[in-house]
Amino acid sequence: MEFILAKTKIIDLTKEIAITAGETKKKMRKNHPNFGLADAIIFETAKSENASVLTGDEHFKGVENVIYIR
């Protein structure tokens, strides 16, 4: 666990991220019906840090700023 914490940056969930995540969830559901609030929070948190999301989660397939791995 110490190795993971040493290589990880913990980012607080701010009010701004939460609000934007709610908007993103609504928008993403049009093309990705299973895109949930947790997905939107992850996406918006990464965006706030100018980072990409690296995932194998199908909900993120084809989403901008996401590196989809299989």
**pLDDT of the chain along its 70 residues, tens only?**
788 888 888 899 999 999 999 999 999 999 889 999 999 999 999 999 999 999 999 888 888 899 999 8
Domain count, the chain: 1
Q: Is 56 in contact with 68 (CB distance < 8 Å)?
A: yes
- Rounded to 10 degrees, the C-alpha dihedral 17/18/22/23 comes to -30
Residue 4 included in any domain: no
> Within a domain: residue 42?
yes
23, part of any domain: yes
> pLDDT value at position 3?
87
Structural domain contains residue 53:
yes
Q: What pTM value is reported for the model?
A: 0.83
Distance CA(68)–CA(70), nearest Å, equals 7
What pLDDT is recorded for position 12? 95
Q: Is residue 47 part of a domain?
A: yes
Residue 8, in any domain of the structure: no
The predicted structure's pLDDT at residue 61:
86
CB atoms closer than 10 angstroms to residue 42: 18
DSSP class of residue 60?
G
Q: 53 is in which domain, residue-wise?
A: 14-68
